[in-house]
Chains A and B, each alone.
Chain A
């Protein structure tokens, strides 16, 4: 069965921003199921429009076509609980990542996501960077 990988905003944004990084490389893999939430899409598109160039927006649309968009309702009670794990600004996405029940949560946010508290909260899913996930996948191949 294909492994489910939840992309956080930092990964999707970086894949749009740089076609040569690990985030972009994940989009070339066909043996993983790439999932994303609507909040992530809204956040990334907002930032692509404000921070990057027009051609990046085209690339964003192109990449999103390769993702499975999961519709996860925002459970405010659960968000509140998640705020004990991570800073408020990232609580909704972390809550959605948990609800999506992925095998992996990929992120580039070392400061907030790649922390012990978050790693424990996401178990049994693993929290790691695109580079680390690529290594795991390559080792298996």
Chain B
């Protein structure tokens, strides 16, 4: 399985170090944090491990500075984000004034629309 290495921004690091709750939300535990010196020596093994843990965190001088992310997990997150920010003209307040077209009327329109 291919993996991607993502650098965390300083802001993210600060946020992550704020509280235990924040760490929990990010699914960061002692077992998936590695100092950079250790990570360097066992990089190949970490890549094998990534499929089950989804993300591993690398520290430098005691701070989390980077994350090793499972590629499928990363792609899923990117896809979810794309969906979230996808362009739309749908106005939720106006949905009640709209209706679902029937297959029959769509067919009728297609016939009527032919040139």
Contact = CB atoms under 8 A, between A and B. Distances in A.
A109 interface: yes
A61 B95 CA distance: 18
Given A13-B109, A25-B115, A61 B87 contact: yes
Given A25-B115, A41-B89, A17 B110 contact: yes
A64 B89 contact: yes
Interface in B70-115: 87-91, 94-95, 97-101, 103, 105-106, 108-110, 112-115
B100 A108 contact: no
Interface residues of B, number: 22
Nearest to A25: B115
Contacts, number: 78
Interface string A94-130: 0000000000000011100000000000000000011
Given A22-B113, A23-B113, A38 B99 contact: no
In this complex, the member of A10, A50, A61, A74 whose beta carbon has the largest number of chain B beta carbons within 10 angstroms is: A10
A81 interface: no
A46 B100 contact: yes
Given A42-B89, A42-B90, A42-B91, A130 B113 contact: yes
Contacts of A20: 115
A96 to B, nearest CB: 9
Interface residues of A, number: 33
A26 to B, nearest CB: 10
A24 to B, nearest CB: 8
21 contacts: A14-B110, A14-B113, A21-B115, A22-B114, A22-B115, A38-B89, A42-B95, A42-B98, A43-B97, A43-B98, A46-B90, A47-B100, A51-B106, A74-B94, A92-B97, A108-B108, A108-B112, A109-B109, A110-B112, A129-B112, A129-B113
Interface of B: 87-91, 94-95, 97-101, 103, 105-106, 108-110, 112-115
Q: Which 6 A-B pairs have the closest CB atoms?
A: A21-B113, A43-B98, A108-B109, A41-B89, A42-B94, A92-B97
Given A51-B100, A51-B106, 7 more contacts: A18-B113, A22-B114, A25-B115, A42-B94, A42-B95, A43-B98, A131-B113
